[in-house]
Structure 1
Amino acid sequence: MKRLLMWMMALACVLGVGMAQAADLTLGAGDVIKASVFGNPDMATETRVSESGKITFPLLGEVKVSGLTVQQAERAIGEQLVKKGYLKNAQVSIIVSQIQSAQVSVLGMVNRPGRYPLDGGKRGVMDMLAQAGGFNVDGGDTVSVVRTRDGKTSKTVIDVVDMVRNGALDKEIELGPNDVIYAERSPRFYIYGEVQRPGSFRLERTMTVSQALAVGGGLTPRGTESGIKIKRRGGDGSVQVIAAKNEDVVQTDDVIFIKESWF
């Protein structure tokens, strides 16, 4: 898990360079911007976007910027300075110093769940997971991303381990304001009977019965690998009891029972 977190952070840095384009950020209430006008240092100002979506700008007073990208806001302020006769040519520059309107919720099995800003306006899932400290000890391999676009909500499941190990960057998702990332809990299996450490354990990919037995600490002196049974719940809710072999692959929520040897 630590190695995966390091990969995630390294990949996030690579993605961040390519994805962060502050000019495309849409401004909203709570954002703090630094605005300046080329050749007019007395017009430089730092201001917060109000709940009504406006900023206070020198000479102009209140200017509505909520819903505009940084480039659009620069152009709108410049046009008003020219239109009202304050300048003949206004070259306005805006830097967003604090982003409060554009945030993503990272929840579930991460080390630091919470809301994180979309610094620079565009971030991917890997970057936001890294900001949240990566998966915790109960985290699995997948995350669910819930997004709302044009009034429609969609859910996408991403296999993070596959993305990192195979470099499948085409599966990365560009996030937007109020998106939600939920880090899923790792799948579990259960092993009881004559094992050293009976209980619930993380199910690794393609784990076999023999490997599951090793995770449970191996057999007790009275245990036997003969006659291992697995209780497995089907999709319809029914429970099957399966005579298992050591090479059989364990499935999510399987209950493995190791019986006592008669000899």
Structure 2
Amino acid sequence: MTSAVTSFFMLAVQRSCLLLVALLLASIDAHAQAAPVDYPLAAGDAVRVQVFQNPDLTLETRISESGTISFPLIGTIRLGGLAVGAAEKRIADALKSGGFLQNPQVTLLLTQIRGSQVSVLGQVGRPGRFPLETASTRLSDMLANAGGATPGGDDVVIVTGQRAGQPFRKLVDVPSLFLRERGEDDIVLQGGDVIYVHRAPVFYVYGEAQRPGSFRIERAMTVMQALALAGGPTARGSRDRLQLHRQQDDGGVALLTPRMNDPVMPNDVIYVRESLF
């Protein structure tokens, strides 16, 4: 009878241990899915840093907007853009090079992911912050999430962020992603990236034009196309008596007599003068 009871309790203990191991593995797997090994740390992420046999150096903090934390003994240290392993090494190297510890063993745990978001700003349908749904979310995906560029938005967008702990900036011609097979420019985004869609460049038409005002410059637009966009000259105006005011690099304004096939530049002012007859 005693042997049967002992066997029963041993079996119960084994089952409990198996259940505990299964729960632990599930927890580890869930954490791995939430924070991949190569996940780049970003502003807003909460971390816990521990140094083996040095409990007084344990730190729970959040990565600042500039990608840094303030760590005991070594002060401000940049972790933004680094994977967890690289961040651990950077802290350990700083402790060793500073003469504080001979062989520091640093462990960094990512306790809360806040940096896995991308900001989309400027001339888009829905500006704001959007989560990175997958590790392979691309620029075109995020622009679609933000409702795309507005009619007044530029075709060239600016992407800024950090890569390998260094500042990152890239200009991307969005139409060329689809029209010219430049898929390599459809970059994979990382947490903390900012996409900015600037206002499209414009030109101005005034004087004897049917619809004077400001207009968006289309690609490779000529003076003839610009004049057509403004409805052409009025009955009193002449397309042969145009004046073009163009801003120079030194801040001055040049007065030109344009030809119909001349390109239109940002902030050009086309003046349609009256006909002589």
TM-score of the superposed pair, with normalisation by structure 2? 0.60
Contact persistence 2:241–2:274 (CA under 8 A): no
**Does residue 158 in structure 1 map to residue 138 in structure 2?**
no
CA RMSD of aligned residues (A): 3.1
Q: Which has the larger radius of gyration?
A: 2
**Does residue 124 in structure 1 map to residue 130 in structure 2?**
no
Distance 1:149 1:259 in 2: 53
Distance 2:114 2:260 in 1: 54
* Identity value in percent: 41
Alignment counterpart, residue 227 of structure 1, candidates 232, 235, 241 = 241
Deviation, 1:224, is 0.4
Match of 2:123 in 1: 109
Distance 1:99 1:53 in 2: 9
**Does residue 180 in structure 1 map to residue 194 in structure 2?**
yes
Deviation, 1:149, is 2.8
Which SS does the other structure have where 1:226 is aligned?
strand
Distance 1:114 1:258, change over 3 A: same
Distance 1:101 1:187 in 2: 32
Contact persistence 2:155–2:175 (CA under 8 A): yes
Distance 1:131 1:38, change over 3 A: farther
Distance 1:169 1:190, change over 3 A: same
Match of 1:94 in 2: none
Deviation, 1:197, is 0.9
Distance 1:38 1:240, change over 3 A: farther
Q: Which amino acid aligns with 2:224?
A: S
Q: Which amino acid aligns with 2:145?
A: Q
User: Per-residue displacement from partner, 1:157-211 (whole Å, max 9, x unpaired)?
Assistant: 0111122211210122221111100012111001110001111100001111111
Moved over 3 A (4+): 37-49, 51-54, 66-69, 98-101
User: Per-residue displacement from partner, 1:61-99 (whole Å, max 9, x unpaired)?
Assistant: xxx9x9769xxxxxxxxxxxxxxxxxxxxxxxxxxxx97
Contact persistence 2:202–2:267 (CA under 8 A): yes
**Does residue 240 in structure 1 map to residue 250 in structure 2?**
no
Match of 2:215 in 1: 201
Match of 2:157 in 1: 143
TM-score of the superposed pair, with normalisation by structure 1? 0.64
Match of 2:12 in 1: none
Structure scoring higher RCO (CA < 8 A, sep ≥ 6) equals: 1
Which SS does the other structure have where 1:177 is aligned?
coil
Once the two structures are superposed, the pairs formed by residues 59-138 of structure 1 within 5 Å of their partners are 100-138=114-152
Count residues with an aligned counterpart: 189
Distance 1:167 1:38 in 2: 52
In structure 2, list runs of 5 or more residues that go unmatched.
Answer: 1-18, 36-44, 49-59, 63-82, 86-111
Deviation, 1:121, is 2.3
Match of 1:26 in 2: none
Distance 1:42 1:104 in 2: 32
